[in-house]
Amino acid sequence: MFSSQLHAWPEVYFNGIGWVPFEPTAGLGVPTSFSPATTTLGDLASGTDVTPAPNPTTSGATANPLDDGRDGAPTETGNAIPRVDPLPTVSIVFGILLALSIPALLRAFRGRRLLRAARDGDATAAWTLVQDAAIDLGIAAPGSESPRALAARLIGDHGAPAEPMRELVIAIERASYAPGAARRRWTDASIPAAAVARGLFRAAPRARQILAVIAPRSLVVRPGSVYAAAGTGPAAQRATARER
């Protein structure tokens, strides 16, 4: 297709002169101009060989004057890929994850503190641990409801284990109502409290479990308060209707 536009610039070797660009096609290129000979007549008469050696770097054709040096390969600047710094994105993601984990960390810290007190025989701390678990799961824990009534509702409506719950009810009733020496402290109330909290979580829907961990209501809602009496689940609404 482009064969009619092809052209060559040959060079002709002249003895005593060397390679001279030559344009054989009339009307194309620049006419060949000959510079004065660089040898003297004396050199020629003496028989000294002054023939310049052929240029080893010169090919049979000179470089195309239309060639601008681009051989079709992309230049280094055109191929450069901009480097993206991932540090700002990683920092933002880490900050978001850290902010989301703060409520869960606070809830775990409060739970460990209550368990430590319950392990020392504090029945009130053990009962508070159960109430916090109920509040986090959206279960109403009104202050007007006795421990025995709340325990019966947690067992019947929310899958709490019966035997650990019975032990906790006995412990909190003795700690709250027994006079004098009969108000004995349990050696370890953390075991039934942890068993009841785990049973409530297992029986709750998966979405409610996740919400209880990442957004625990017990951090801002205290057991027995007005907000604790208003649960978020259908069972809590039925309990509120029964109280009314």
Specify whether 219 is located in the same domain as 108. yes
Specify whether 108 is located in the same domain as 48. no
Specify whether 41 is located in the same domain as 141. no
Question: What is the tens place of the pLDDT at every residue in 47-76?
Answer: 555 455 555 444 444 445 545 555 544 555
Specify whether 123 is located in the same domain as 210. yes
Please check whether residue 73 lies inside any domain of the structure.
Answer: no
Specify whether 149 is located in the same domain as 53. no
Q: What is the pLDDT of residue 150?
A: 94
Q: What is the pLDDT of residue 223?
A: 86
Please check whether residue 72 lies inside any domain of the structure.
Answer: no
Residue 25 CA to residue 190 CA, distance in Å, equals: 107
Specify whether 55 is located in the same domain as 136. no
Instruction: Give the residue from 141, 153, 132, 95 showing the smallest Cα distance to 212.
Output: 132
Model confidence at 237: pLDDT above 50: no
Model confidence at 182: pLDDT above 60: no
Specify whether 139 is located in the same domain as 55. no
Confidence category of residue 209, pLDDT binned at 50, 70, 90: very high
Q: Domain range holding 45?
A: 7-60
Please check whether residue 201 lies inside any domain of the structure.
Answer: yes
Please check whether residue 148 lies inside any domain of the structure.
Answer: yes
Q: What is the pLDDT of residue 59?
A: 46
Instruction: Give the residue from 123, 125, 121, 133 showing the smallest Cα distance to 161.
Output: 133
Q: What is the pLDDT of residue 6?
A: 65
Please check whether residue 79 lies inside any domain of the structure.
Answer: no
Specify whether 215 is located in the same domain as 102. yes
Q: What is the pLDDT of residue 181?
A: 52
Please check whether residue 156 lies inside any domain of the structure.
Answer: yes
Q: What is the pLDDT of residue 103?
A: 85
Please check whether residue 181 lies inside any domain of the structure.
Answer: yes
